């Protein structure tokens, strides 16, 4: 699945059906119950802070077995991210938040394995009318722009993201480097990658700092200025 | 601090080894490593096994839930050396990798804990190049494969 395919899934709106998945998404009252048990002892809250594994947490703190087990994982990740999005699995929000801590939206999507998206796009996992792009926008707190054929370069927050089709990779550029390319999107196809010089526009390297070697991501130019 | 003999907990005997190296990533003490005799890659494999055996103590799963596995996440004192050799090998084999801020499973710290990036590779990519089922992919198998005849054959066939 290429990034384009992933983006297609992410943009798909209204094709999801709730069906049987809703039963395993938590409700506010269940989450409230989880919070109240969490506050019973300090041990619960420190155990909670010390794992990202819902089942491990349940093993450590059996008091939580009184909570509906079908939605336990969802409640656990709601508490981890600190909010609940109606009709969206909290684990997905948790994973996307982690990726968005590292990269802007399109690059973050390219990091997450396609099976994660397949899992959430099999026609029953996300509430009808909700698409992953909306989830991304909610997490980022701005209207996320996704790369597509007509838009090979987009600006998200204060960085530019460019889709390099040949490499199926997203190039992240700081404002000062990306601005000119953004005004001339036709030039995106003139970008290339050289093993030693990194990403180049025509024959001009955009970054020469050990690009492609051990220390920096050849497709992330945020640190070159 | 966890005390080990070359990252083997059961082989550590208090007071016997004098040479101590400290892994500042996961706060593990490594006694008895002799750079003139021991292979760094074997030490790294011991480290991976040790961390796998301590899964119930992990505070963070890092980027495992993205479908990635940490191919280079070495003890702080040999991280750069391990990284250089493995990244060169991955580059030669044409295997895509992600450089992400170094993190610690045991402390949960995700914020560049050894001052250099870790190397993560998609579990699916490894499954494809090694031709094994995805649920059988492990970091140890992959590292051994990278230095095996099989990867050499993969390299030759990918060039043709």
Instruction: Determine contact, residues B118/B109, Cβ cutoff 8 Å.
Output: no
B83, B84, B108: residue with CB nearest A50: B108
Report, as an integer, the average pLDDT of B32-37: 88
pLDDT for res A128: 64
pLDDT for res B57: 93
Whether chain A has a CB inside 8 Å of the CB on B60: the answer is: yes
Strands (E), chain A: 153-156, 159-164, 169-174, 191-194, 198-201, 204-205
- Which residue is listed with tokens 């069906």? A19
B13 to each of A185, A199, B34, B46, how far by Cα in Å? 64, 52, 16, 17
Q: What is the ipTM of this complex?
A: 0.85
Q: What is the DSSP letter of A26?
A: -
- Enumerate the residues of chain B whose CB falls inside 8 A of the CB of residue A221: none
CA B45-B49-B50 angle, to 5 degrees, is 115
pLDDT for res A20: 36
Q: What is the DSSP letter of A8?
A: H
Give CA–CA dist B98/A98, Å, rounded. 15
- Enumerate the residues of chain B whose CB falls inside 8 A of the CB of residue A214: 80, 83-84, 87, 99
Query: Across the interface, do A214 and B66 touch by the CB < 8 Å criterion?
Result: no
pLDDT for res A156: 95
Ranges A19-23, B30-34, B52-56: which has the least confidence = A19-23
- Enumerate the residues of chain A whose CB falls inside 8 A of the CB of residue B128: none
Query: Across the interface, do A111 and B65 touch by the CB < 8 Å criterion?
Result: no
pLDDT for res B106: 96
pTM here? 0.87
Instruction: Determine contact, residues A9/A132, Cβ cutoff 8 Å.
Output: yes
Q: What is the DSSP letter of A199?
A: E
Kindly report the nearest CA distance between residue B91 and chain A, in angstroms. Answer: 9
Give CA–CA dist A25/A21, Å, rounded. 7
pLDDT for res B14: 83
Ranges A193-207, B16-30, B100-114, B133-147: which has the least confidence = A193-207
Instruction: Determine contact, residues A161/A107, Cβ cutoff 8 Å.
Output: yes
Whether chain A has a CB inside 8 Å of the CB on B59: the answer is: yes
Within B1-148, residue ranges assigned H as helices are 40-53, 79-93, 123-130, 139-146
pLDDT for res A15: 41
- Enumerate the residues of chain A whose CB falls inside 8 A of the CB of residue B91: 195, 212
Kindly report the nearest CA distance between residue B14 and chain A, in angstroms. Answer: 29
Residue among A46, A57, A111, A170 with most chain B CBs within 10 A, to mutate: A111
The two tokens of residue B88 are 């060169």
Query: Across the interface, do B63 and A212 touch by the CB < 8 Å criterion?
Result: no
Largest Cα separation within chain A, whole Å, is: 64
pLDDT for res B130: 96
| pLDDT tens per residue across span B62-106 | 999 999 999 999 999 999 999 999 999 998 998 989 999 999 999
pLDDT at B34 over 60: yes
CB atoms within 10 A of CB A55: 11
Which contacts qualify for A142-148: CB closer than 8 Å, 24 or more apart? A144/A105, A145/A105, A146/A7, A146/A10, A146/A11, A146/A105, A146/A106, A146/A109, A147/A3, A147/A7, A147/A106, A148/A4, A148/A7
CB atoms within 10 A of CB A150: 6
Per-residue pLDDT of chain A (225 residues; tens, 9 = 90+): 677 777 776 776 544 333 434 447 888 899 999 999 999 999 999 999 999 999 999 999 999 999 988 889 999 999 999 999 888 889 889 999 999 999 999 999 988 887 777 776 555 556 666 778 888 999 999 999 999 878 899 999 999 999 998 888 899 999 888 898 999 999 999 999 887 778 888 888 887 554 444 445 778 887 665
DSSP code per residue over chain B: -EEEETTBGGG--TTT---EEEETTTTEEEES--TTTS-HHHHHHHHHHHHHHTGGG-S--TTGGGTEEEEE---TTTHHHHHHHHHHHHHHHT---EEEE---TTT---S-TTSSEEEEEEHHHHHHHHTS-GGG--HHHHHHHHTSHHHHHHHHHHH-
Query: Across the interface, do B67 and A112 touch by the CB < 8 Å criterion?
Result: yes
Query: Across the interface, do B100 and A102 touch by the CB < 8 Å criterion?
Result: yes
Whether chain B has a CB inside 8 Å of the CB on A114: the answer is: yes
């Amino acid at each position: 699945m290429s990034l384009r395919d992933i983006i297609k899934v992410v943009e798909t709106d209204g094709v999801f059906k709730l069906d049987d998945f809703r039963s395993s998404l938590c409700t506010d009252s269940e989450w409230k119950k989880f919070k109240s048990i969490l506050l019973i002892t300090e041990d619960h809250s420190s155990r909670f802070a010390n794992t990202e594994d819902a089942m491990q947490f349940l093993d450590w703190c059996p008091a939580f077995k009184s909570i509906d087990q079908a939605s336990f994982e969802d409640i656990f990740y709601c508490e981890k991210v600190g909010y609940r999005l109606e009709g969206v699995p909290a684990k997905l929000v948790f994973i996307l938040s982690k990726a968005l801590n590292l990269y802007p939206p399109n690059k973050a999507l390219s990091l997450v394995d396609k099976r994660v998206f397949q899992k959430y796009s099999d026609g029953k996992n996300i509430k009808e009318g909700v698409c992953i792009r909306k989830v991304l926008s909610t997490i980022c707190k701005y209207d996320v722009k996704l790369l597509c054929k007509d838009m090979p370069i987009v600006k998200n927050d204060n960085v530019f993201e460019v889709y390099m089709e040949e490499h199926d990779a997203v190039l992240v550029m700081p404002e000062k480097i990306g601005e000119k390319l953004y005004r001339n999107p036709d030039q995106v196809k003139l970008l290339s990658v050289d093993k030693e010089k990194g990403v180049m526009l025509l024959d001009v390297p955009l970054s020469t700092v050990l690009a492609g070697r051990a220390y920096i991501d050849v497709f992330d130019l945020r640190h070159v200025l | 601090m966890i005390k080990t003999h070359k990252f083997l907990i059961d082989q550590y005997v208090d007071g016997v080894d004098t040479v101590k190296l400290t892994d500042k990533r996961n706060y593990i003490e490594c006694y008895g490593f002799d750079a003139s005799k021991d292979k760094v890659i074997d030490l790294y494999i011991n480290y991976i096994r040790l961390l796998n055996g301590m899964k119930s103590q992990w505070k963070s799963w890092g980027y495992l839930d993205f479908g990635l596995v940490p191919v280079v996440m070495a003890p702080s004192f040999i991280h750069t050396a391990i990284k250089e050799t493995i990244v060169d090998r991955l580059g030669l084999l044409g295997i895509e990798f992600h450089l992400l801020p170094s993190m610690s499973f045991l402390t949960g710290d995700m914020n560049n804990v050894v001052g250099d990036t870790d190397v993560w590779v998609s579990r699916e990519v490894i499954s494809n190049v090694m031709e094994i089922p995805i649920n059988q992919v492990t970091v140890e198998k992959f590292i051994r494969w990278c230095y095996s005849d099989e990867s050499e054959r993969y390299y030759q066939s990918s060039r043709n």
